[in-house]
Copies of this chain bind each other. A is one copy, B any other.
Amino acid sequence: MADVDSVVENYIASWNETDGDRRRTIIETTYSDDASYLDPLMEGDGREAIDAMVAAVQRQFPRHRFELTAGPDHHHDRMRFTWHLVGPNGDGPVAIGVDFATLAEDGRLRSVTGFLEPVA
């Protein structure tokens, strides 16, 4: 049973891991078999599609990093947390997101819905 803090830590790590093999391993640890991701700009249905989506974001924002800035806040099988995407020198954030997720019975992510906050 994955605990919520580890799941979110691994989720953020998957967005930052640019080595494809290591990223796919993290994604398998973090997402359930039937996982899906949906935000205003992107979607991924299944772990393979999620991995391709993350790789595309990494190509679009080279040397940027995702950082957890609030949460996770968790009850039942639901959680939310906030992240910042910061530039190569820690500048930014260039994007701020609030993610809402539901968890599978084994504690891994079943669905993630991303929302974007305005960036100053």
Would you give the shortest CB distance from A17 to chain B, in whole angstroms? 26
Label chain A's interface by main secondary structure. Answer: strand
Question: Bound state CA distance, A76 and B111, in angstroms?
Answer: 14
Among B38, B43, B75, B113, the residue within 8 A (CB) of A39 is B75
A75 and B114 CA atoms in complex are apart in Å by 9
Asked if A54 is at the interface (CB within 8 A of a chain B CB), the reply is no
Whether A80 is near chain B, meaning CB under 8 Å from some CB there, is yes
- Contacts of A39-77 to chain B: CB distance below 8 A: 39-40, 43, 73, 75-76
A80–B115 Cα distance when bound, in Å, is: 8
Which residues of the other chain, B, contact A115 by a CB distance below 8 angstroms?
A: 73, 75, 78, 80
* Interface residue A100 (Cβ < 8 Å from any Cβ of B): yes
